[in-house]
């Protein structure tokens, strides 16, 4: 990993902490030691030319994926999560996520709306229709049922696989993934799995940065990353699938898909799009200035009141 550490990350600077929409998408590291010093967080690795040491822009990364052979100090992970990065421990190449360290939410505004939508069948159906509408270029009739929408989505994905296979001269393609026999996967399936996993990490980091919950899904249900799957499915056809098929003859498609995906996401500025789409699906307007999470109220059915003060003089015995 020492030879692959990008020197362009540079040393930390005194710039203001960027919003999630302005952050790098993700950073994958393996076989490195991550520590913290007075200047910030740095990754160190041994290389044939000598030790390599690179500072990480902790406030400018949305998600850090740590692969096998990585060690990280308590101080380093504290700094990363404090600065708003989601840190996940993954399998080789970012495939499968074993555990994650999440940063504190800045506000519960988006989460409050998410809970309200998921708890109301009518609002949830409207949000589900907005999710499906974002996947199709042409408007969909409002009277379509969820069952019909699921069928149309399945047809769309199958057609997309068929077109991609024809474009790259593949006789046929079948989506499959066996986590117990990763090396036996064909290059396209390997690239799809690795690319989707990286995309899940990015989307989860954005969801958490907005103060929402990855578990409260609209279409998906019953898993801790249900909402992550809802949002990530919006971009697979445009971003991951074409990239995976283009690597059908590559010797290491899982590694190459992450490298190209990172470059492509920066080019497309996908993170701002994810932020806007989450707000749209939940029926929220995207605020120009994120609400401050350090301002906390006390709930009251007649309207929330400020916390941090004694209300004993308002009680009528």
Nearest residue to 242 via CA among 216, 268, 205? 268
| pLDDT given for residue 18 in this prediction | 45
Parallel/antiparallel/unpaired status of strands 61-66 and 71-72: unpaired
| pLDDT given for residue 273 in this prediction | 87
| pLDDT given for residue 231 in this prediction | 96
CA torsion angle for 193, 224, 222, 23 (degrees, to 10)?
Answer: -70
Which tens digits make up the pLDDT trace of 15-57?
Answer: 334 455 555 556 778 889 999 988 789 999 887 787 888 888 8
Give the chain's domains with CATH numbers: 2-101 (3.100.10.20), 109-281 (1.20.120.920)
| pLDDT given for residue 17 in this prediction | 40
Locate all alpha helices (DSSP H) within the chain, ordered by sequence: 74-82, 109-118, 121-135, 146-167, 187-209, 226-232, 241-245, 253-268, 270-281
Question: Which stretches of the chain score pLDDT less than 70?
Answer: 1-26, 91-106, 266-268, 286-295, 314-317
Q: What residues are paired with 298 via a beta bridge?
A: 305
């Amino acid at each position: 990993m020492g030879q692959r550490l990008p020197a362009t990350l540079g040393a930390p600077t005194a710039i203001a902490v960027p919003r999630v929409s302005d952050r790098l998408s993700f950073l994958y590291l393996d076989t490195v030691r991550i520590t913290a010093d007075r200047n910030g967080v740095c990754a160190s690795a041994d290389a044939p030319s000598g030790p390599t040491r690179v500072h990480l822009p902790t406030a400018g990364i949305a998600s850090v994926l740590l692969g096998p052979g990585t060690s990280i100090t308590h101080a380093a992970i504290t700094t990363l999560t404090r600065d708003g990065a989601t840190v996940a421990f993954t399998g080789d190449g970012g495939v499968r996520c074993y555990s994650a360290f999440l940063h504190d939410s800045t506000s519960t505004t988006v989460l409050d709306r998410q809970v309200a939508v998921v708890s109301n069948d009518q609002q949830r159906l409207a949000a589900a229709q907005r999710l499906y509408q974002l996947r199709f270029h042409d408007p969909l009739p409002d009277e379509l049922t969820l069952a019909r929408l699921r069928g149309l989505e399945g047809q769309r994905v199958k057609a997309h696989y068929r077109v991609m296979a024809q474009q790259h001269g593949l006789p046929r393609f079948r989506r499959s993934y066996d986590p117990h026999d990763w090396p036996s996967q064909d290059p396209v399936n390997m690239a799809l799995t690795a690319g989707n996993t990286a995309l899940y990490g990015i989307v989860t980091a954005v969801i958490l940065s907005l103060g929402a919950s990855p578990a409260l899904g609209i279409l998906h249900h019953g898993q801790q990353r249900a909402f992550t799957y809802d949002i990530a499915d919006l971009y697979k056809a445009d971003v991951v699938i074409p990239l995976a098929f283009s690597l059908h003859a590559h010797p290491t498609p899982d590694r190459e898909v992450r490298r190209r995906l990172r470059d492509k996401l920066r080019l497309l500025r996908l993170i701002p799009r994810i932020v806007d789409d989450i707000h749209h699906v939940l029926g929220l307007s995207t605020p120009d200035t994120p609400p401050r999470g350090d301002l906390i109220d006390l709930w009251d059915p007649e309207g929330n009141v400020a916390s941090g003060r004694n209300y004993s003089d308002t009680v009528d015995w």
